[in-house]
């Protein structure tokens, strides 16, 4: 059809990829050349997002978009307390992959990633996993780390240190909340957390009630969480039983929580002892960033976040 030689393809070059033993390095080099020509496309795949109690997820993902990456979201379950996101959001993984065409998927949490392994293998795209404290189980993490499609597993430092090859997370500080002006009077005692049974509500409400009777402005901010709606009833009952003027607000947008930190003297984080694991409390990190005092359980993991 075309009466000229258009291409000469030779097979005797000594440095052909198929003749090299280190195929992985060759593939990586090819991918680097490709990605230099366009932004890396990331699909954040979650069980429960967008969700007001999981604000660390968009902040961590937007640390990627701030560096030029393209982001899309995919979630399995409808959100109990939804928040708005700017990027495309899908409820079906196949549709998300078809339309967003991601180079890599990022999954939040280890338990969710294990549940989705069959679908991930069907899709065949590389994936990364961000582990939480509540689902850090050694054999699960090792299985994910060893999966041929997994490019990395990240966990809190005190947990990452227990499994070879797991990367320690660093705390991402938000800059959306303005620091209070010098001389600003701080009068609020604040607890901001997800509505989970590990928060030791009796201790928190008992302490806040005593402070409130002494005139302190005590506020508890709670986000509704999947399968734990009854925690709000427990908390409301304890506050009513105390008879103290302790404020309770549910599902407050993250920016509004940050704004309250300017008036906060003390951020309190309570935690039930026993089998509940300890993570890296975002309210404590943001409280320190805003210049408040913080109160944490006396645990070695807490020192990693707030210092001795």
Lowest-pLDDT range of 12-21, 181-190, 231-240: 12-21
Which residues, listed in sequence order, are joined to residue 266 by a DSSP beta bridge? Answer: 189, 293
What mean pLDDT is predicted for residues 152-168?
93
Q: Which two tokens stand for residue 231?
A: 């925690």
Q: Are 251 and 223 in contact (CB under 8 A)?
A: yes
Mean pLDDT of 108-136: 93
**Least confident span in 91-105, 178-192, 255-269:** 178-192
User: Which pLDDT score is estimated for 266?
Assistant: 95
pLDDT-derived band at 176, boundaries 50, 70, 90: low
3 state DSSP class of 247: strand
pLDDT at 104 over 60: yes
Q: How many Cα atoms occupy the beta-carbon half-sphere of 258 within 13 Å?
A: 15
Tokens for 251, please give them. 């599902």
Contact 297, 268 (CB under 8 A): no
DSSP characters over 113-154: HHHTHHHHHHHT--EEEE--STT--HHHHHHHHT-TTEEEEE
Q: What is the pLDDT of residues 31-59, one digit of tens each?
A: 778 777 888 899 999 988 777 777 788 88
- How far apart CA 273 and CA 200 sit, in angstroms, is 9
Average pLDDT, the chain: 87
The residue behind tokens 């938000």 is 174
């Amino acid at each position: 059809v075309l009466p000229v030689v258009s291409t000469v393809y030779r097979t005797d070059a000594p440095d052909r990829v198929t003749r090299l033993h280190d195929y992985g390095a060759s593939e990586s080099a090819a991918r680097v050349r490709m990605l230099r020509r366009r932004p890396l496309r990331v699909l954040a795949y979650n069980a429960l997002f967008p969700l007001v109690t999981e604000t660390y997820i968009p902040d961590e993902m937007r640390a990627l978009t701030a560096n030029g990456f393209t982001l899309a979201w995919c979630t399995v379950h409808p959100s109990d307390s939804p928040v708005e996101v700017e990027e495309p959001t899908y409820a079906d993984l196949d549709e998300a992959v078809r339309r967003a065409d991601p180079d890599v998927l990022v999954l939040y949490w280890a338990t969710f990633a294990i549940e989705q392994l069959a679908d991930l293998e069907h899709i065949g795209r590389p994936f990364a996993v961000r582990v939480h404290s509540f689902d850090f189980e050694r054999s699960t993490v090792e299985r994910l780390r060893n999966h041929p499609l997994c490019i990395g597993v990240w966990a809190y430092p005190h947990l990452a240190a227990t499994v070879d090859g797991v990367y320690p997370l660093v705390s991402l500080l938000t800059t959306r909340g303005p620091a209070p002006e010098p001389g600003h009077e701080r009068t609020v005692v604040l607890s901001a957390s997800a509505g989970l049974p590990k928060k030791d509500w009796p201790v928190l409400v008992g302490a806040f009630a005593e402070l409130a009777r002494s005139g302190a402005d005590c506020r508890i901010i709670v986000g509704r969480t999947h399968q734990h709606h009854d925690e709000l009833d427990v908390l409301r009952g304890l506050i009513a039983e105390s008879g103290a003027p302790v404020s309770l607000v549910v599902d407050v947008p993250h920016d509004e929580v940050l704004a309250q930190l300017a008036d906060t003297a003390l951020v309190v984080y309570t935690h039930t002892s026993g089998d509940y694991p300890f993570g890296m409390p975002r309210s404590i990190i943001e409280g320190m960033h805003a210049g408040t005092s913080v109160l944490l359980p006396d645990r070695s993991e807490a020192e990693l976040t707030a210092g001795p």
